[in-house]
Amino acid sequence: MEHPKTYIRHTLPQQQGEIVVEGPVTPSHLQSLNMHADLDAFRKPKEQHEALIEIAELPEGRIILARDELTIIGYVTFHYPDDMERWSQGHMPDLLELGAVEVANAYRSLGLGSTLIRTAFEDPQMESYIVFTTEYYWHWDLKSSGLSVWDYRSMMERLMKTVDMVWYATDDPEICSHPANCLMVRIGKQVPLASEEQFDRIRFQQRFMY
């Protein structure tokens, strides 16, 4: 499957300067930027910066970022599912994972999470993909946010619904391990029925004997 990408850029005026939301960005552009010290939800900022560059190098990889001058203050990642996960089993060329959304603490009141995700889906090519995200409560920043598990879950659902991602049932053991975990999915308008059916077979793999 070809992976054409349409670069999109928005500027958000602030009292002092502006914030740029842009992507998909190139590895070289990412290398020219610094990572905000608060972006440590998944790994240390330096290591996460390196991970973003690696994703941007993938044919299907997409990084949409928000930056304050030359400092990355938020990002969202898209890539094929990891080979160790059930979602990679079908080797579907039109199944993308929305892997991570993170915004630095000091900028969380600006609605950057929804801006990042909406910007990603402005690219018409995204209509050719099934995009899914797996939400696990142990990845959520409950401490800094002050939210309960269920309030955080509601916030993440509202965030994903800004691009019409909806809750999907699954028997995946990790998602089923806690009731706050969930699978959210967006099926693009150009996705063939055969791909939807294949994704359904990946979502449900338990076979019950009667």
Q: How confident is the model at residue 206, as a pLDDT?
A: 78
- Asked if the peptide bond before residue 81 counts as cis, ω within 30 degrees of 0, the response is no
Long-range (24+ apart) CB contacts under 8 A made by 146-154 are 149/180, 150/180, 152/180, 153/180, 153/182
Q: How confident is the model at residue 41, as a pLDDT?
A: 85
Token pair for 62: 């997409």
- Do residues 149 and 139 make contact, with C-beta atoms less than 8 angstroms apart? no
Q: How confident is the model at residue 207, as a pLDDT?
A: 60
* Cα dihedral: 172, 175, 176, 177 (round 10): 120
Residue 126 per-residue DSSP state: G
Q: What is the mean pLDDT of each run of 10 residues along the chain (210 residues)?
A: 93 91 98 96 94 98 98 98 92 96 92 96 97 92 87 92 96 94 97 97 73
Q: How confident is the model at residue 209, as a pLDDT?
A: 37
| Nearest of 162, 187, 166, 184 to residue 175 by alpha carbon | 184
Q: How confident is the model at residue 5, as a pLDDT?
A: 95
Q: How confident is the model at residue 138, as a pLDDT?
A: 86
